[in-house]
């Protein structure tokens, strides 16, 4: 399956460097794309452990006649990070801060460090690297230097170039040189570099007139080489600036020295409203005179998108007044707070002078909404980003394509430019949504095109030519922050003229005469619309496939599976190393293979036949998905909603069909089927955890790690048949049990058996169905007992869900079967569950449960495997206990006699709770307990993820995931804090990792009820 193109180079690299080397098709495929619409298969991939490794890799590549492509996060939008080269990925190992001079506000870093990581390290010192690109969570400093990246606040801080002081780079001849500040006579430049530096200065001098005449005079010019840095007469010569923005074509950066800035203080934001888009663009040139640090545009489409989303609506309501066509968010950040307030007043006055007033109609309706609350300011930033992401998440084959998105024009022309470009789009039958940086005249816009169609490809060229001609006429820049890559290098002649393009070539040839470094970018580029370089190139098509789940919301082969996979646009948000919860496996391994993007790319290449026959069911594919814990974080946090957990089910299903099941998978998947028998043998099976050697045997025979205890079987498991009488907890009695029973007597009815309550006639306002899942039923029945006690105490008539066919085997959601790829068996379980629950759900009776992955599966997987209205009804009525109680409390229908219990609860949310926005209700109901302060741990997946944490081949990743944030946070929690975790496996991981017992929220509420009862009795 794996075709190695360069066996000699691969062998030498493996022998001579300490870093990782991958030449197989799957690895190369994962490095064939960046965030542009291009795709070029590289020849191999290296992850150097040291700078020496990187140097050696370059030497070997040169000797074998192969070019080299440096790579950071691979988030470039212009195709500069794809090539038929040896890719050298700096992000995994070359990511250290090498030196920090706080007083001098400088630092030196390796190229692979991510901007957010660097800023986290600088924050305690009151400093930051202020080039705040939107991709800060995954963009590396090496990549930012490569692209001369620009942040939203470039008006104050400049671009990357203005913030880089020196670069150590390996050049094409293998020598390392230091590029930095230099005297004009080059007397302070190393003798080895002096000839090159002298020639560069000569080019600058020779082309001075042309540079003066042709280089756009806008701040946002990142295209071409920075010849303007070489102009004679400048007394700030810095040779590093010729490398900035050179897209890896001149040298390989190994050490980058940066200028740092003090952290921003409080900011004042004015949201300027405009009745017309043109007027907003026209106003930008006047607004910047008030010296804001940013002016960001949000247009009507963005506002509408944000208003449609429940979590963003409240934010929009707070800063958007009425129905504007555009809002400019103007940010002031002077050190003097009063000065910021004065500028806001001046902003309001300016809007008035420009003729805008709230009382007017049409384009002149407008004014300023002041936003001073930092929280709201943060929320607005999130809305802005999310709005763009939603635009990117259209499911059709046509997508917003970035190629003219990066133009910057002088502010005086901004209004005309945007109006004319809108007309160009219309002429070519498309449209675009505008966003980004009005302050510097750089407005991003992406027309929607389907690059598989010849007509759209032709439209792309026509739009590009018309747009770039317009930008040239306005003396603007066609590359405003995203760089040249493949998409804009072709047009340099049009922007800079042929003389300067020859000068660019001269620079390239002097640095890199043999074309070792990222050839075909900036100079001698291929045609930007050559389909051979497109992600959806000639012959691209999905193979027909029968899928196990429903993908009909998407286009393409496999009933839409292809379209779902193609939703990944490579923006790299899943590579964030902190904040949010996506993607835990990447946070542990830092491998492109183990991130959502790498998985989506591998799937896309596999189903379109680009990884050889049978790639979808191959071992390499299984390996690609092995560490995916199906946490569903990507489903929520990926800007385009890539749902890898669901895609993994397809691969597992196809592999099971082909290879059958291992014993390990059988034991995991079929648990609900054998559990009633196993529970009867609990004394025997529990010996696995007690007898020396038994655990080792279970690892050898069934793949369960000997380093984990397995869940304890209970002989007193939760039996449906008990629910003609009161719930009883094993080993419990006396005062507490009496209190529990008394609470239970508060129930309006003692009927708790679904069979005893006809769904047709019995469902009333206070009815609720309790679904007992397999895990709580057999291993932790006290949670179910607690839930019953709470519901009954709150006055609900509880029906315990039992099979409609009267069979003895309890109901099951089918999750364990999905986790091993047995979708057919999961469907059978779902059908049974639907037969029992759908009649209740159809009448609006809430179906309440405890285990997040089971209950949220009623909303997610069951409708994807059983397509009918019963599944939809269940999805609409299935609630976690805390969701139900929070809803009832909000409606004023919940009266629980809760008593103080502890001072603090520390909550860990199950991944699926986070994915389905179902964590807040846990906090809400815990706060019902008097005096209980609730802290939620900022945790990603706990690492257990069902059977993942038990398996011998994944236990190390499981433990590492736990250590990312959850386990350290639990260890730090005060001894008397209650640790709350609703997931069975989360509780197990917390126990194993910290020795502390976490509780389901149901038990916290029950304990609080009991505390009240005991107190009342005591008073008696």
Ligand X SMILES: Cc1cc2nc3c(=O)[nH]c(=O)nc-3n(C[C@H](O)[C@H](O)[C@H](O)COP(=O)(O)OP(=O)(O)OC[C@H]3O[C@@H](n4cnc5c(N)ncnc54)[C@H](O)[C@@H]3O)c2cc1C
Report in angstroms the alpha-carbon separations of 106 from 119, 122, 229, 238, 337.
13, 10, 21, 16, 27
Contact flag: residue 248 with ligand X (CB under 6 A):
yes
The string of DSSP letters for 183-206 reads -TT-TTS-TTTHHHHHHHHHHHHH
* Minimum separation from the CB atom of position 992 to ligand SF4 (A): 20
CA–CA separation, 248 vs 179, rounded Å?
Answer: 15
Q: Which window, 71-79, 522-530, 647-655, 814-822, contacts ligand X (CB under 6 A)?
A: 71-79
Report in angstroms the alpha-carbon separations of 516 from 62, 171, 174, 502.
7, 9, 11, 19
First and final C-alpha spacing in the chain = 78
The packing angle between helices 414-427 and 454-473, to 10°, is 160
Contact flag: residue 81 with ligand X (CB under 6 A):
yes
DSSP 228: G
Q: Which window, 40-48, 244-252, 695-703, 767-775, contacts ligand X (CB under 6 A)?
A: 244-252
In the Cβ-directed half-sphere of 396, how many Cα atoms lie within 13 Å? 9
- Contact partner, 592, from ligand X, ligand SF4, none, Cβ < 5-8 Å per class: none
- Contact partner, 644, from ligand X, ligand SF4, none, Cβ < 5-8 Å per class: ligand SF4
* Minimum separation from the CB atom of position 594 to ligand X (A): 18
The dihedrals phi and psi of 908, each to the nearest 5 degrees, come to: -110, 125
- CB-wise, 33 or 853, nearer to ligand X? 33
Q: What is the 3-state secondary structure (H, E, C) of 538-554?
A: CCCCCCCCCCCCCCCCC
- Non-local CB neighbours of 372 within 8 Å, separated by 6+ positions: 268, 269
Query: Under a CB-based contact definition with an 8 Å cutoff, are residues 842 and 811 in contact?
Result: no
- Preceding omega of 104 cis (within 30 degrees of 0): no
- CB-wise, 113 or 424, nearer to ligand X? 113
* Minimum separation from the CB atom of position 856 to ligand X (A): 29
Minimal CA–CA distance to 858: which of 804, 801, 797? 801
Of residues 252, 468, 717, 718, which one binds ligand X by CB under 6 A?
252
Question: What pairs with residue 907 in β-bridges?
Answer: 936, 980
- Contact partner, 409, from ligand X, ligand SF4, none, Cβ < 5-8 Å per class: none
CA–CA separation, 955 vs 973, rounded Å?
Answer: 25
- Contact partner, 143, from ligand X, ligand SF4, none, Cβ < 5-8 Å per class: ligand X
* Minimum separation from the CB atom of position 257 to ligand X (A): 14
Query: Under a CB-based contact definition with an 8 Å cutoff, are residues 714 and 678 in contact?
Result: no
* Minimum separation from the CB atom of position 465 to ligand X (A): 23
* Minimum separation from the CB atom of position 484 to ligand X (A): 9
Applying CB under 6 A, the residues found at the interface with ligand SF4 are 568-574, 582-585, 596-597, 599-600, 628-634, 638-640, 642, 644-645
The packing angle between helices 1001-1019 and 881-890, to 10°, is 60
Of residues 39, 135, 163, 984, which one binds ligand X by CB under 6 A?
135
Residues of this chain, 91-130, that bind ligand X according to CB under 6 A: 111
CA–CA separation, 1014 vs 1020, rounded Å?
Answer: 10
- CB-wise, 221 or 827, nearer to ligand X? 221
Residues of this chain, 283-342, that bind ligand X according to CB under 6 A: none
Query: Under a CB-based contact definition with an 8 Å cutoff, are residues 511 and 250 in contact?
Result: yes
* Minimum separation from the CB atom of position 196 to ligand X (A): 17
SS3 273: strand
- CB-wise, 143 or 542, nearer to ligand X? 143
The packing angle between helices 881-890 and 781-793, to 10°, is 20
As given in the structure block, the two tokens for residue 996 are 């502390």
The packing angle between helices 498-511 and 194-206, to 10°, is 180
- CB-wise, 574 or 621, nearer to ligand SF4? 574
* Minimum separation from the CB atom of position 62 to ligand X (A): 16
As given in the structure block, the two tokens for residue 749 are 């009815």
Q: Which window, 131-139, 797-805, 873-881, 921-929, contacts ligand X (CB under 6 A)?
A: 131-139
- Contact partner, 81, from ligand SF4, ligand X, none, Cβ < 5-8 Å per class: ligand X
* Minimum separation from the CB atom of position 255 to ligand X (A): 10
* Minimum separation from the CB atom of position 362 to ligand X (A): 33
Residues of this chain, 384-423, that bind ligand X according to CB under 6 A: none
Q: Which window, 63-71, 447-455, 464-472, 584-592, contacts ligand X (CB under 6 A)?
A: 63-71
Return the ∠ at Cα 258 (arms to 252 and 261), rounded to 5°: 155
* Minimum separation from the CB atom of position 632 to ligand SF4 (A): 5
Of residues 116, 117, 207, 247, which one binds ligand X by CB under 6 A?
247
Of residues 40, 45, 60, 70, which one binds ligand X by CB under 6 A?
70
Binding mask 32-61 for ligand X (x = CB under 6 A): --xx--------------------------
- Non-local CB neighbours of 48 within 8 Å, separated by 6+ positions: 17, 19, 54, 57, 88, 90, 93, 94
CA–CA separation, 696 vs 790, rounded Å?
Answer: 41
Q: For residue 724, how many other CB atoms are within 10 A of its CB?
A: 13
* Minimum separation from the CB atom of position 601 to ligand SF4 (A): 8
**Residues shown for the chain:** 1020
CA–CA separation, 712 vs 729, rounded Å?
Answer: 16
* Minimum separation from the CB atom of position 914 to ligand SF4 (A): 11
- Contact partner, 518, from ligand X, ligand SF4, none, Cβ < 5-8 Å per class: ligand X
Report in angstroms the alpha-carbon separations of 275 from 346, 350, 383, 729.
20, 16, 20, 65
- CB-wise, 439 or 915, nearer to ligand SF4? 915
CA–CA separation, 743 vs 1013, rounded Å?
Answer: 8
Q: Which window, 2-10, 77-85, 877-885, 919-927, contacts ligand X (CB under 6 A)?
A: 77-85
- CB-wise, 85 or 569, nearer to ligand SF4? 569
- Contact partner, 913, from ligand X, ligand SF4, none, Cβ < 5-8 Å per class: none
* Minimum separation from the CB atom of position 534 to ligand SF4 (A): 18
* Minimum separation from the CB atom of position 853 to ligand SF4 (A): 12
Residues of this chain, 449-508, that bind ligand X according to CB under 6 A: 481-482
* Minimum separation from the CB atom of position 463 to ligand X (A): 20
CA–CA separation, 947 vs 957, rounded Å?
Answer: 13
Beta strands, E only, 909-977: 933-936
* Minimum separation from the CB atom of position 594 to ligand SF4 (A): 8
Q: For residue 101, how many other CB atoms are within 10 A of its CB?
A: 11
- Contact partner, 110, from ligand X, ligand SF4, none, Cβ < 5-8 Å per class: none
- CB-wise, 67 or 630, nearer to ligand X? 67
Residues of this chain, 136-195, that bind ligand X according to CB under 6 A: 139-140, 142-144, 146-147, 149-150
Of residues 25, 37, 71, 1003, which one binds ligand X by CB under 6 A?
71
As given in the structure block, the two tokens for residue 959 are 């433990």
As given in the structure block, the two tokens for residue 988 are 């197990």
- Contact partner, 48, from ligand X, ligand SF4, none, Cβ < 5-8 Å per class: none
- Contact partner, 135, from ligand X, ligand SF4, none, Cβ < 5-8 Å per class: ligand X
- CB-wise, 606 or 634, nearer to ligand SF4? 634
- CB-wise, 72 or 560, nearer to ligand X? 72
CA–CA separation, 991 vs 686, rounded Å?
Answer: 17
Residues lying near ligand X in the complex (CB under 6 A) are found at 34-35, 69-77, 80-81, 90, 111, 133-135, 139-140, 142-144, 146-147, 149-150, 247-248, 252-253, 481-482, 518, 571
């Amino acid at each position: 399956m794996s075709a190695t193109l360069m066996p000699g180079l691969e062998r030498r690299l493996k022998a001579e460097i300490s870093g990782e080397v991958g030449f197989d098709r799957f690895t190369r495929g994962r490095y064939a794309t960046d965030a542009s619409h291009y795709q070029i298969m590289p020849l191999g991939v290296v992850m150097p452990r040291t700078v020496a490794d990187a140097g050696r890799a370059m030497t070997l590549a040169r000797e074998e006649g192969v070019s080299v492509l440096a790579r950071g996060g691979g988030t470039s939008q212009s195709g500069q990070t794809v090539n038929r080269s040896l890719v050298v990925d700096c992000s995994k190992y070359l990511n250290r801060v090498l030196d920090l001079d706080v007083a001098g506000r400088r630092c030196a870093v390796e190229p692979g460090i991510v901007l957010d990581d660097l800023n986290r390290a600088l924050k305690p010192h009151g400093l930051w690297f202020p080039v705040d690109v939107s991709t800060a969570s995954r963009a590396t400093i090496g990549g930012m230097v490569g692209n001369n990246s620009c942040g939203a606040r470039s008006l104050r801080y400049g671009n990357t170039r203005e913030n880089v002081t020196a670069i150590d780079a390996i050049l094409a001849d293998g020598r390392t040189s230091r590029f930095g500040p230099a005297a004009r006579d080059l007397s302070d430049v190393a003798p080895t570099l002096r000839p090159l530096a002298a020639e560069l200065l000569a080019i600058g001098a020779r082309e001075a007139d042309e540079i003066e005449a042709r280089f756009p005079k806008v701040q946002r010019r990142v295209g071409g080489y920075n010849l303007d840095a070489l102009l004679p007469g400048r007394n700030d010569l810095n040779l590093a600036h010729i490398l900035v923005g050179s897209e890896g074509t001149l040298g390989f950066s190994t050490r980058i020295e940066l200028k740092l800035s003090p952290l921003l203080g409080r900011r004042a934001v004015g949201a300027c409203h405009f009745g017309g888009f043109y007027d907003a663009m026209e106003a930008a040139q006047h607004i910047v005179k008030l010296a804001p640090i940013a002016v960001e545009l949000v247009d009507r489409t963005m506002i509408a998108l944000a208003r449609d989303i429940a979590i963003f609506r409240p934010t929009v309501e707070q800063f958007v007044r009425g129905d504007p066509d555009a809002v400019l968010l103007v940010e002031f950040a002077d050190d003097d707070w009063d000065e910021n307030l004065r500028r806001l007043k001046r902003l309001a006055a300016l809007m008035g002078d420009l003729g805008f007033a709230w009382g007017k109609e049409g384009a002149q309706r407008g004014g300023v909404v002041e936003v001073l609350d930092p929280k709201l300011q943060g929320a607005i930033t999130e809305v802005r980003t999310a709005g763009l992401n939603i635009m990117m998440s259209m499911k059709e084959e046509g997508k917003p394509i970035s190629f003219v998105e990066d133009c910057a024009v002088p502010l005086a022309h901004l209004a005309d430019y945007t109006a004319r470009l809108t007309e160009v789009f219309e002429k070519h039958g498309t449209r675009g949504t505008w966003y980004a940086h009005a302050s510097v005249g750089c407005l991003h816009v992406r027309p929607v095109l389907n690059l598989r169609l010849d007509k759209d490809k032709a439209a792309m060229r026509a739009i590009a030519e018309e747009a770039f001609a317009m930008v040239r006429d306005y003396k603007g820049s066609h590359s405003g922050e995203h760089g040249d890559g493949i998409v804009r290098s072709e047009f340099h002649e049009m922007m800079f003229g042929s003389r300067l393009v020859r000068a660019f070539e001269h620079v390239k040839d002097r640095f890199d005469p043999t074309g070792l470094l990222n050839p075909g970018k900036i100079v001698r580029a291929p045609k930007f619309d050559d389909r051979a370089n497109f992600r959806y190139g000639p012959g691209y098509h999905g193979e027909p496939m029968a899928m196990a789940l429903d993908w009909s919301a998407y286009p393409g082969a496999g009933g839409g599976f292809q379209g779902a996979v193609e939703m990944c646009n490579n923006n790299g948000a899943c590579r964030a190393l902190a904040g949010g919860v996506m993607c835990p496996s990447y946070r542990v391994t830092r491998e492109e293979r183990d991130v959502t993007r790498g998985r989506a790319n591998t799937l896309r290449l596999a189903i379109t036949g680009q990884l050889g026959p049978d790639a979808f069911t191959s071992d390499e594919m299984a390996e690609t998905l092995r560490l995916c814990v199906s946490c569903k974080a990507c489903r929520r946090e990926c800007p385009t909603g890539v749902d890898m957990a669901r895609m993994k089910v397809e691969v597992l299903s196809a592999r099971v069909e082909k290879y059958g099941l291992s014993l390990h998978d059988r034991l995991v998947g079929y648990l609900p089927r054998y559990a009633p028998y196993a529970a009867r043998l609990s004394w025997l099976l529990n010996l696995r955890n007690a007898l020396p050697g038994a655990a080792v045997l279970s690892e050898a025979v069934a793949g369960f790690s000997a380093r984990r205890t397995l869940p304890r079987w209970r002989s007193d498991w939760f039996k449906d048949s008990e629910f003609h009488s009161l719930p009883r907890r094993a080993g419990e009695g006396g005062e507490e049990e009496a209190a529990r029973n008394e609470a239970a007597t508060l129930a309006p009815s003692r009927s708790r058996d679904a069979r005893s309550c006809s769904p047709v006639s019995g469902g009333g306002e206070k009815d609720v169905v309790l679904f007992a899942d397999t895990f709580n039923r057999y291993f932790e029945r006290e949670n179910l007992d607690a839930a019953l006690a709470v519901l009954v105490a709150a006055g609900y008539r509880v029906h315990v869900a039992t099979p409609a066919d009267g069979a003895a085997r309890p109901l099951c959601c089918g999750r364990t079967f999905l986790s091993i790829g047995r979708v057919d068996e999961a469907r059978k379980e779902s059908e049974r569950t639907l037969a029992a629950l759908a009649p209740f759900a159809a009448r609006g009776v809430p179906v309440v449960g405890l285990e997040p992955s089971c209950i949220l599966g009623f909303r997610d997987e069951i409708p994807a495997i059983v397509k009918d209205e019963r599944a939809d009804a269940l999805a609409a009525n299935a609630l976690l206990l805390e969701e139900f109680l929070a809803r009832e409390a909000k409606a004023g229908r919940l009266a629980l006699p809760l008593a103080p219990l502890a001072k603090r609860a520390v909550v860990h949310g199950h991944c699926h709770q986070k994915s389905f926005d179902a964590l807040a209700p846990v906090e809400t109901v815990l706060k019902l307990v008097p005096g209980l302060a609730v802290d939620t741990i900022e945790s990603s997946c706990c690492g257990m993820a069902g059977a993942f944490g038990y398996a011998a081949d994944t236990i190390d990743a499981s433990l590492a995931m736990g250590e990312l944030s959850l386990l350290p946070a639990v260890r730090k929690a005060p001894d008397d804090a209650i640790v709350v975790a609703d997931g069975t496996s989360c509780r197990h991981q917390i126990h194993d990792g910290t020795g502390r017992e976490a509780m389901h929220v149901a038990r916290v509420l029950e304990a609080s009820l009991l505390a009240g009862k005991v107190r009342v009795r005591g008073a008696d």
